[in-house]
Amino acid sequence: MAVHIKRIYEAKEDKDGIRILVDRLWPRGLSKQDASVDLWLKEIAPSPALRRWFGHDPAKWTEFQRRYRRELEKNASAVEELERQIGKSDATLLYAAKDLQHNHAIVLQRFLGKDRSIAPGTDKMPPT
């Protein structure tokens, strides 16, 4: 099954499959009805402390990836629930962050694909 990521503010598409919001906080300016969310798994999102520390600062991206993967490894119940959901059909992980290159949904998508390492000496994850 394919796992896609997209901003929650983008239009729903047939190819989305099950739409899973992976943010801890509900997105600003969006009603639950307009969001077309099938499941909200806030427990899978980065901890409030990690989210505040990162602040979507690209300079912290490499360390954020490491810290968030560590949190995911310790959060087996939320990861297992997400894996159960995405095992049923195609899925789209929804997030609200404006930065399309530096957000937790990217890390989560790769983590689910079992790509749990980061290329040494770089801020890029190995190709999947």
Any domain includes 87:
yes
Per the structure, the complete domain to which residue 23 belongs is given by: 3-112
Could you read off the pLDDT of 70-126 as tens digits, one per residue? 999 999 999 999 999 999 889 999 999 999 999 999 999 999 987 544 433 334 444
**Alpha helix ranges (H) inside 17-60:** 32-35, 48-54
Rounded-to-integer distance, Cα 111 and Cα 63, Å: 15
Structural contact between residues 85 and 39, judged by C-beta atoms closer than 8 angstroms: yes
Strands 3-7 and 18-21: unpaired
> What stretches of 12-123 adopt beta strand conformation (E)?
18-21, 39-40, 91-95
For residue 62 the two structure tokens come to 């490499």
pLDDT of 88 reads 86
Any domain includes 122:
no
- Number of domains present in the structure of the chain: 1
pLDDT of 128 reads 36
pTM (global) more than 0.75: yes
Any domain includes 119:
no
For residue 5 the two structure tokens come to 């990521």
Any domain includes 95:
yes
Looking at residues 9-16, what average pLDDT do you find? 94
Neighbour tally for 59: CB within 10 Å: 9
Could you read off the pLDDT of 27-44 as tens digits, one per residue? 999 998 889 999 999 999
pLDDT of 32 reads 87
pLDDT of 3 reads 94
Rounded-to-integer distance, Cα 22 and Cα 1, Å: 18
pLDDT of 123 reads 42
Looking at residues 1-6, what average pLDDT do you find? 92
In this prediction, residue 7 has a pLDDT band, given cuts at 50, 70 and 90, of very high
